[in-house]
Structure 1
Amino acid sequence: MTEAVIHPSAVIEDGAVIGPDCHIGPFCVIGPQVRLGRGVVLKSHVVLAGDTVIGDETAIFPFACIGEAPQDLKFRGENTRLEIGARNRIREYVTMNPGTGGGGGLTRVGDDGLFMAGSHVAHDCQIGDRVILVNNVAVAGHCVLEDDVIVGGLSGVHQFVRIGRGAMIGALSMVTADVIPHGLVQGPRAHLDGLNLVGLKRRGATRADIAALRDLLTALGSGSFREKARGAACNNVTPMQREVLDFILGPSDRSFLTPHPG
């Protein structure tokens, strides 16, 4: 265990907790409720505010602003939190906000994520492990992004949307409804365009797994996913099919992105 290395120009307010082996670069500002785990690296000019916890070995690049007040007009300064897991890479100009009293009070980011330059995670979001937000992605409040989701550059995710595990959002997409696990979504007003085949193969899915998921998408068609999922759930299904069906039948007030008609 070694002491943290802190540049003399950094401002660390009383009460902040700096873990061992941290490197705090020049002109960083760390608020009094911030807690850094072991080996966190702040490159330079990073602002950390609010009740914010950052996990071990996360690296934050210049001009990121993490933990400042939510961009929500209903926020009245209530005590809310932002929790960021281990080994994340948070690049230049990224913003992440804590929760709000009306949204559960907690924004949570998992482990091993990559948040590229200019991306935004809004209040009360729940972000899984190994999530990638490409440059200038904006994720609005109350969204859920499950593990292994990739959101392409300059895309937007509407508030309260859920994106299932392993889904891929193409660049320049506007996601206004829920996305099934392992789905591939793209378009200015995005629609479901099949499966994220590259992601499935990277995570070890077999040909049989992929064929079963394709069969399920064909059975769901382009109509009411929930109605058709209830029928499909009664059949003998594979574990990956079950994951998709459970997601569709899970709690949500939003509709689903479906294949483009025709």
Structure 2
Amino acid sequence: MAETRIHPMAVVEPGAQIGKGVQIGPFCVVGPKVRLGDGVVLKSHVVVAGETSIGPETVIFPFASIGEVPQDLKFQGESTRLVIGARNRIREHVTMNPGTEGGGGLTQVGDDGLFMAGSHVAHDCRIGDRVILVNHASVAGHCVLGDDVIVGGLSGVHQWVRIGQGAMIGAVTMVTSDVIPHGLVQGPRGHLDGLNLVGLKRRGASRAEIAELRALLGDLAQGSFRDTARARHDTSTGRAREVLDFILGPSDRSFLTPRPASGEAR
């Protein structure tokens, strides 16, 4: 592992915990309650504040602001945390905020994510592994994003929304309701527009699994998601069962549904 290097024009406050092989570039500021895992790289002009823990080999690019206070008027300075996993790539001007007392006090980001320039992770979010937020995508407070989710550029995810594993959100989309695992969502006001077939194939889904998911999606389009999930739960398997478990999981929000055909009432 490379030698730990801290540029003389960086500010690392007393109390910060710096792992082996960490590289801190010029004009970075690292707060007193920050923990940087082994091999973390802060390129330059990066601010890491608050009670923030960053996992090994994560690389953060210039002008990112990580761990500053939440953008929530109810926040009164209470002790809350931001925990970021290993091997993430956090690009320029990304912002990630810690939790709030009302949301459990923790914002958590998994491993191997790519957070492109200008993207935002708000307070109390739970972000899974291998998640990609494309340029200027924003995830509001209390959201849950499963593993392998992709959120397209300039898209917004409303607070408290859940997005299931493997789902893909198209660019310039507003997501106001829960998205089933492996769903494909696009449109200015997002609708469920089928399955994320590319993602499913990349993760080794068989033709039979995809066919079962397509049949399930057709059934869901005909009525209540939760009623359909209860009726089909015990006879479904694999990824279809994963979708049904997600639908029956805890949430106060509705679900994004397929776009009505032309002339149908919404």
TM-score scaled to structure 1, two decimals?
0.98
Return structure 1 stretches of 4+ with deviation > 3 angstroms.
none
Instruction: Write the distance in 1 (CA, Å) between the matches of 2:192 and 2:22.
Output: 43
Instruction: Look up the SS of the partner of 2:216 in the other structure.
Output: helix
Of 213-222 and 243-252, deviating more is: 213-222
Q: CA offset at residue 13 of structure 1? A: 0.3
Instruction: Look up the SS of the partner of 1:184 in the other structure.
Output: strand
Instruction: Look up the SS of the partner of 1:257 in the other structure.
Output: coil
Task: Report what 1:98 is aligned to.
Answer: 98
Task: Report what 2:184 is aligned to.
Answer: 184
- CA deviations 1:25-46 (Å, max 9, x no partner) are 0000000000000000000000
Any gaps of 5 or more consecutive residues in structure 2?
Answer: 262-266
Q: CA offset at residue 222 of structure 1? A: 4.8
Task: Report what 1:203 is aligned to.
Answer: 203
Tell me how many residue pairs correspond in the alignment. Answer: 261
Instruction: Write the distance in 1 (CA, Å) between the matches of 2:166 and 2:212.
Output: 16
Equivalent residue letter for 2:241 = R
Instruction: Write the distance in 2 (CA, Å) between the matches of 1:58 and 1:147.
Output: 18
Give identity over the alignment, percent: 77
Instruction: Look up the SS of the partner of 1:107 in the other structure.
Output: strand
TM-score scaled to structure 2, two decimals?
0.97
Instruction: Write the distance in 2 (CA, Å) between the matches of 1:237 and 1:119.
Output: 36
Of 113-122 and 204-213, deviating more is: 204-213
Contact 1:21/1:38 (8 A) holds in 2? yes
Contact 1:137/1:153 (8 A) holds in 2? yes
Contact 1:222/1:260 (8 A) holds in 2? no
Quickly say closer, same or farther: Cα 1:222–1:97, change in 2 above 3 A: farther
Q: CA offset at residue 71 of structure 1? A: 0.2
Instruction: Write the distance in 1 (CA, Å) between the matches of 2:193 and 2:208.
Output: 20
Any gaps of 5 or more consecutive residues in structure 1?
Answer: none
Instruction: Write the distance in 1 (CA, Å) between the matches of 2:2 and 2:192.
Output: 50
Equivalent residue letter for 1:210 = I
Instruction: Write the distance in 2 (CA, Å) between the matches of 1:58 and 1:249.
Output: 35
Q: How does 1:216-235 map to 2 (within 5 A)?
A: 216-234=216-234
Instruction: Write the distance in 1 (CA, Å) between the matches of 2:206 and 2:56.
Output: 34
Instruction: Look up the SS of the partner of 2:160 in the other structure.
Output: coil
- CA deviations 1:178-216 (Å, max 9, x no partner) are 000000001110000000000000101111110010011
Contact 1:180/1:248 (8 A) holds in 2? yes
- CA deviations 1:76-135 (Å, max 9, x no partner) are 000000000000000000000000001000000000000000000000000000000000
Contact 1:61/1:91 (8 A) holds in 2? yes
Contact 1:222/1:259 (8 A) holds in 2? no
Q: CA offset at residue 228 of structure 1? A: 1.4
Quickly say closer, same or farther: Cα 1:219–1:26, change in 2 above 3 A: same
Instruction: Write the distance in 2 (CA, Å) between the matches of 1:123 and 1:134.
Output: 19
Task: Report what 2:71 is aligned to.
Answer: 71
Q: Is residue 242 of structure 2 the alignment partner of residue 252 of structure 1?
A: no
Q: CA offset at residue 259 of structure 1? A: 0.2
Instruction: Look up the SS of the partner of 1:233 in the other structure.
Output: helix
Instruction: Write the distance in 2 (CA, Å) between the matches of 1:178 and 1:171.
Output: 17
CA RMSD in angstroms, aligned pairs only? 0.8
Q: CA offset at residue 223 of structure 1? A: 3.2
